[in-house]
Amino acid sequence: MSELLCIVLAYVVGSVPWGLVIARVFCGIDPRRDGSGNTGATNVARLCGFGWGVLTLACDLGKGALPVCLALHLELHPFWVSLTALAAVLGHVFSCFMRFRGGKAVATSIGIFLPLAFWPLFGACLLCLLVIWRSGYVSLGSLTLVSALVLGLLFCGIWTWLPLGLCVWGLVVWKHRENIARLRTGTEKSWQKKHQD
């Protein structure tokens, strides 16, 4: 019973659209109608300012990390911990508070791996920031992050969370399919130009 409760709780917590809440309450802006139309930290930062974007990022990280920490505290089997983590990410992508629409899964995916595989995640995040800094493309950095995370899990021999890492990788790549198409054609917009990522 505790396993199912953790999964349901993770989905509901993951569904909370913090970017939408923060942008509307503090900036009077609906991020679904401006910028990239995404409720994630990147679009909130673009529309409302860097500080609000950082707050959105922190909230999205938290809604991934907290359910996983609870599952670990309850000493659930890794299979159930993985399902709990995945439920949080799916809640972010298919939010029950936004008619099953949502973000691109990156921040919440980082959150779920914070308590599970900190050092591979840390390396992947550094590589992500480097790619964004050099290219200006947040989408390319995000794709680099999830790819590097899977490789980091392999390199460190953390097999327990590898299936979860692969699921997250597939979900993030799918959510970025339009960005990938624009990257291939050279029409993806740079973060520095404050256009849709």
What is the average per-residue pLDDT within 160-174?
A: 97
Report CA Rg, the chain: 16
> What percentage of the chain exceeds 90 in pLDDT?
76
Q: What is the pLDDT of residue 93?
A: 94
Report whether pLDDT(183) > 70.
Answer: yes
**Span between the terminal Cα atoms of the chain, in Å:** 41
Is the separation of the CB atoms in 6 and 74 below 8 Å? Answer: yes
pLDDT at 147 over 70: yes
- Does the pLDDT of residue 197 top 80, yes or no? no
Predicted confidence (pLDDT) per residue in 24-50, tens digit:
999 888 888 887 778 888 889 888 988
Q: With 50 as the cut, is the pLDDT of residue 151 above it?
A: yes
Higher pLDDT, 74 or 29: 74
What pLDDT sits at residue 193?
Answer: 55
> What values do phi and psi take at 169, rounded to 5?
-55, -50
State how far the Cα of 35 lies from the Cα of 42, in Å rounded to an integer: 10
Range scoring the smallest mean pLDDT among 72-76, 102-106, 173-177: 102-106
Greatest mean pLDDT among 86-90, 136-140, 188-192, 193-197: 86-90
Provide the 10 A C-beta neighbour count for residue 186. Answer: 6
**What is the pLDDT confidence band of residue 195, given thresholds at 50, 70 and 90?**
very low
Q: Is 80 exceeded by the pLDDT of residue 194?
A: no
Backbone φ, ψ for residue 95 (5° rounding): -70, 130
Q: Quick one: average pLDDT of 171-192?
A: 89
* CA contacts within 13 A on the Cβ side of 51: 2
Number of CB atoms found within 10 A of residue 97's CB: 14
Confidence of residue 192 (pLDDT cuts 50, 70, 90): low
